[in-house]
Amino acid sequence: MRKYLLSRLAQIPPVVFGVVTIVFLLIHLIPGDPVEIMLGESAVPAQREELRRELKLDRPVLRQYGEFLGGLVKGDLGVSFRSREPVLREILSRFPSTLLLAAASLFVALLLSVPLGVLSAMRQHSPLDHLCAFLAMLGLSLPNFFLGPLLILVFSVHLGLLPVAGYGTARHLLLPALTMGMGMAAILMRMLRSSLLEEIRQEYVRAAAAKGLSRRAAVLRHALKNSMIPVLTVLGLQFGALLSGSIITETIFSWPGIGRLTVQAIDARDYPLVQGCVLFIALCTVAVNLMTDLLYSRLDPRIRHE
């Protein structure tokens, strides 16, 4: 396990370096000048040049890249062009909102997927199984940019039960959590059903039933745990995406998370903030995937990473 952990940790710096390099090059190739966006079209050339020097945009791109890497080694992500605040401070101020939304979305996904996945596997080819399959396909087919406004139209506009957007209470959290969690629930439900069907056919389940356990108890006590191994892989990847922040969902519901901050930074051509947000997203994804891999051996002692 120690050897595997060290090898995975050694892969993080190249991944981070690759992400930083690609994002830096892409953000500088995007059409649009942050100076013109900040000052407007009425600014005189002298004002533009002064601001360009202040933001260090008059320097060659390679020099800007070298200075960014040098600051990154020291833990300095730079200063936002728009707010003139340190990038790390802005990201950390938005991170609790994103973490809250990701945790709520994961709770919704597990609340829906685990019971439906187990019922679908235990009653294979039944009407309930077909209904679960239909719901899963529906959840996979509805993108967030459609499902979010649809939930707003139903629960906020017509029924008046929940606020349209905002942040601060559990009522504000419910609709964005449903929007992000339903698609994830569909993936997890189908994965759990397939994995559980394979485990049900194994000899140890039959042996547990032969010892007097009911079929339901044998499935829930033995087969369900082993069937969670492939589900955990998908769960880790999906939670990494949730933790990084859904750009579309946070924008629709005006949720003050990292995803919305990234959109605002791209609109303003705020180079340091975009680079910092993407770097933070990459680190969260790598960390969640690493923890997922380490959990494998906890769920199934037969697995040895070496």
At the top level of CATH, the class of 92-299 is mainly alpha
**What pLDDT digit, counting tens, does each position of 248-286 carry?**
898 899 899 898 898 888 888 888 888 888 888 888 888
Mean pLDDT of 46-61: 79
> What is the C-alpha to C-alpha distance for residues 243 and 288, in angstroms, rounded to an integer?
9
pLDDT value of residue 299: 61
pLDDT value of residue 82: 83
pLDDT value of residue 173: 92
Q: Residue 287 is which amino acid?
A: A
Mean pLDDT of 205-230: 78
Looking at the chain, the whole-number percentage of residues with pLDDT higher than 90 is: 15
Going from N- to C-terminal start, the domains of the chain cover 2-73, 92-299
Q: To which residue do tokens 């589900």 refer?
A: 231
What the block records as the tokens of 210 is 């032969």
Q: Residue 136: is its pLDDT beyond 80?
A: yes
Task: Output the pTM of the full model.
Answer: 0.83
Q: Residue 304: is its pLDDT beyond 60?
A: no
Split at pLDDT 50, 70, 90, the class of 155 is very high
Mean pLDDT of 213-226: 78
6-15, 29-38, 184-193: which has the minimum mean pLDDT? 29-38
pLDDT value of residue 149: 92
| CA 41, 44, 49, 50 torsion-angle sign | negative
pLDDT value of residue 18: 86
Looking at the chain, the whole-number percentage of residues with pLDDT higher than 70 is: 93
Q: Residue 153: is its pLDDT beyond 90?
A: yes
**What pLDDT digit, counting tens, does each position of 93-123 carry?**
999 999 899 999 999 999 999 899 888 888 8
pLDDT value of residue 174: 93
pLDDT value of residue 217: 80
Q: Residue 189: is its pLDDT beyond 80?
A: yes
